[in-house]
Amino acid sequence: MQIIYDPIHERHAPETFISAGRVMPNPEVVERATRLLASVEQAGHDVVTPDAFGHDAYAAVHTGDYLEFLSSAHELWSKVAGASDEVVPNAHPGRHMHTRPHHIVGLAGYHMADTACPIGAGTWQAARAAADCALTAAARVMDGTRVAYSLCRPPGHHAYSDMAGGFCFLNNVAIAADYCRRHGAERVAILDIDVHHGNGTQGIFYGRGDVLFVSVHADPHAFYPWFAGYAEERGQDAGHGYNLNLPLARGSGDPQFHHAVEEGLAAIHRYAPDVVLISLGFDAQENDPLGILKVTTEGFRHTASMIAGLGLPTVLVQEGGYLCDELGANLAAFLDGFENAA
């Protein structure tokens, strides 16, 4: 299998985030990607660097104001007296506010949904590289490759068209899906199996009927992203009926996870897309430090074989999955399961 990877991701090394009021080390670390890379290299996969796509590919999904913010935020922040090394918002536009400010401290709150996505000096370069990895995988698949895996870091599925969040800046899978749509695919499906709901991806495509979004994730009643990911969210306007959320109770293991994936795959089969993209998170694994769901490494292997059973051109886009002994094995099992079933 062709693996798309760019070491530029190492320029993004966030230090902290705030969880339940506590300042904690940020789990979205460089080692996540290097462990995944070591796994695919050990398995003998072909690793290549991405092509450069540039502004227009990102702007197909993200607003111009937001891209300008991401590209300039750290430089502007560094000029604020007493500011931290990383851009971290301390004020957000609540439900009763509406003005987009001009000062960088206000802009940070406007364009960043939470405190989990600090922007450092190299974040913008790393985010672009991650999006280019996903775009390169999409381009290869649209050119006839059966499947390609983009080892994206930072991840992307919590990023909206104009807002970062949950470790994410550019929505890699949404950018890749839109690329497929503009390069020959009339209908595109996204299946998100990260433990968190892909709220940014949902938001980007919520009013569209040409991209079906399906997400299997932990119930957001008591888990990030809190405000989205509920079963009643079905899309709006032209997108009504093209959004399917399949939340799972905390502690769900392989049987419940596979049942939800099976339901999602049935919806994708009925939709009959030309290509499917997978937001591939491994943070549902039983030993992931988040500890929310209990999917096994072999459970990911079986999940991959189920997805391969669609028989569709497939773009795999890395999302979450945090440091545990099984991280690399999860990816190796998934790719092996896909290839042996395809």
The yes-or-no verdict on residue 142 having pLDDT over 90 is: yes
Q: What percent of the chain has pLDDT over 90?
A: 98
How high does pLDDT run on average in the chain? Answer: 97
Specify the pairing of strand 147-150 against strand 314-318.
Answer: parallel
Measured CA to CA, the distance from residue 248 to residue 282 in angstroms comes to: 15
pLDDT in tens, 215-250: 999 999 999 999 999 999 999 999 999 999 999 999
Indicate if the alpha-carbon torsion angle 233, 133, 60, 86 is positive or negative.
positive
- Distance (Å) of CA 5 to CA 46, 97, 132, 248, 275: 10, 40, 9, 31, 21
Model confidence at 287, in pLDDT bands (50, 70, 90)? very high
What is the arithmetic mean of pLDDT over 309-323? 98
The yes-or-no verdict on residue 71 having pLDDT over 80 is: yes
The yes-or-no verdict on residue 342 having pLDDT over 90 is: no
What is the arithmetic mean of pLDDT over 95-119? 95
Flag the least confident range among 17-21, 74-78, 89-93, 138-142: 17-21
What is the arithmetic mean of pLDDT over 80-102? 94
- Active site (catalytic) residues: 158
What is the arithmetic mean of pLDDT over 73-88? 97
What is the arithmetic mean of pLDDT over 42-48? 96
- Check residue 120 and give its pLDDT: 98
Beta bridge partners of 192: 215, 279
Measured CA to CA, the distance from residue 64 to residue 52 in angstroms comes to: 19
Predicted TM-score (pTM) of the model is 0.98
Model confidence at 26, in pLDDT bands (50, 70, 90)? very high
- Check residue 235 and give its pLDDT: 98
- Check residue 3 and give its pLDDT: 98
Token representation of residue 68: 């300008």
What is the arithmetic mean of pLDDT over 303-331? 98
**In the chain, domain spans:** 2-51+129-341
pLDDT in tens, 163-214: 999 999 999 999 999 999 999 999 999 999 999 999 999 999 999 999 999 9
Token representation of residue 157: 């599925």
Q: What percent of the chain has pLDDT over 70?
A: 100
- Check residue 98 and give its pLDDT: 85
CATH architecture type of domain 2-51+129-341: 3-Layer(aba) Sandwich (3.40)
Spatial contact of 216 and 192, defined as CB atoms under 8 Å apart: yes
Q: Closest by alpha carbon to 193, among 7, 58, 88, 337? A: 337
